[in-house]
Amino acid sequence: MSRISANDCVHRRAGHVTWFYRDQLLVWGGFFERLDRKPLLPNSIPTNGNDFHTNAQIYAMDMDSLSWKWVTCTGDIPPRSFCSASCVVDHLIYVYGGYYGYEDDYYYEDGSGDQLFCLDLDTFRWRKLPRSAHHPLGVEKSSLVHCQDILYLYGGYGEAPKTNKFYPGEIRFDLDPAAEWSWQRGWFGNLWIFSLHTETWNWCNVKGNVPRPRAGHSLVVHGERAFVFGGRTSSGRSNELFALDLRLQSWCKISEGSTSMPEPRSAFSFCKYNSHQAFLYGGMGNLCTPLNDAWIFNFLNLTWTEVPLSYDHGQIRCYQGSVSTSESEVIIHSGLTQEYYLNRIQLDQHPQRTLLKFKLGVPKLSIISADHIIKAKLAFEDLPTELRVMLQKRRLNGDIDYGDIDQFDEEQFDRTTIHAGI
């Protein structure tokens, strides 16, 4: 058993899920790298030094004061996991799968989860949703999106389907040649739908130009179409863009109209930040190193535009969390990084600056005013109490805050499971 400090609980996290709800950045799950296990020499073989974060707490950052707090959840709490798929529907959060690990009095168990959980943000109570006669297989690094009272689950990486089990259709699966012979794993390419009314899973017999099975991709909904970009396939990392007609359940490959586009990648951020645009950042490239470029995708004309970034805009990262706070800002939270000159995957560090903010428009007037007061070092002792406290916290915390958080015991797991299939 190892101890996770208050600082690590908030600021050293990767493979986690993030959401934006009522002006708060919410964080759950994931893993962290232990600095005491860091290799001493560049390009040295990494040693095992990973721990799951606690599954019982949700961590929240107030966007005005930039201060963190945590809430203990109740109910059917999901197992500790990383690289789960999730989405928000009103005040409910849905989480599926992920690579989990837990132990009882007799043995340690791990694998790719095949359960769907729901968290009520009003009560912070988890509920394990029922499984249908036919339900998705256990996967990690998949995507989950919501449209018109339906959840759509696509792709992922997990254990090979059983040959003696009946499935309602063809399982789209590519075996990972690097997987152990005793534990056959690979990439999935099936689409499943979950009805929020009946709480049942259904198999989708899709048609059209179906994408190859993949994991570590992103799926974003625009209108009645869902766009999938990138990910890791059996042929390597991809920069293909596909669109799924949610009504017809038909795939098509998008021929981009841009003269340039993002390079192949997986484990990146891709989130919609206004009515017709999505923001892409970072991830892991084909050279097995993190990327630090940013792009905007326009859903109206299906074009990519690269966002110019300063040299020192922030550390390169992958396995990060990301949320869109409004039509003006995208926040990247934590993740994994390594020095740019390394020529092999190491990823044993977390970014020193936890939050990376991209302002893509005009921020709220209250935030502009607060930042001006702090930057100009104006006196605000005579302001109303609530406003004064917010300014004091914002000035104190800056981009990060360690918070008053207890320590938690967590389990250690094998480093190779993190990067499998991605």
Position 8 scores a pLDDT of 75
- Collapsed DSSP state (helix, strand, coil) of residue 197: coil
Residue 396: how many other CB atoms lie within 10 Å = 12
DSSP letter at 388 equals H
367: Cβ contacts below 8 Å, ≥ 6 apart: 63, 64
CB 10 within 8 A of CB 405: yes
Position 401 scores a pLDDT of 31
Residue 114 CA, chain-centre distance (Å), reads 18
Name all contacts of 278-281 with Cβ < 8 Å and 24+ positions apart.
278/220, 278/222, 278/227, 279/307, 279/324, 279/330, 279/358, 279/360, 280/218, 280/229, 281/322, 281/330, 281/332, 281/356, 281/358
Domains of the chain with CATH codes: 2-419 (2.120.10.80)
310: Cβ contacts below 8 Å, ≥ 6 apart: none
The span from the CA of 251 to the CA of 240, in Å, is 13
Position 197 scores a pLDDT of 94
Low-confidence residues in the chain, pLDDT < 50: 1-2, 45-46, 105-107, 399-410
Alpha-carbon distance values, 316 to 24, 103, 167, 350, 411 (Å): 24, 34, 41, 10, 27
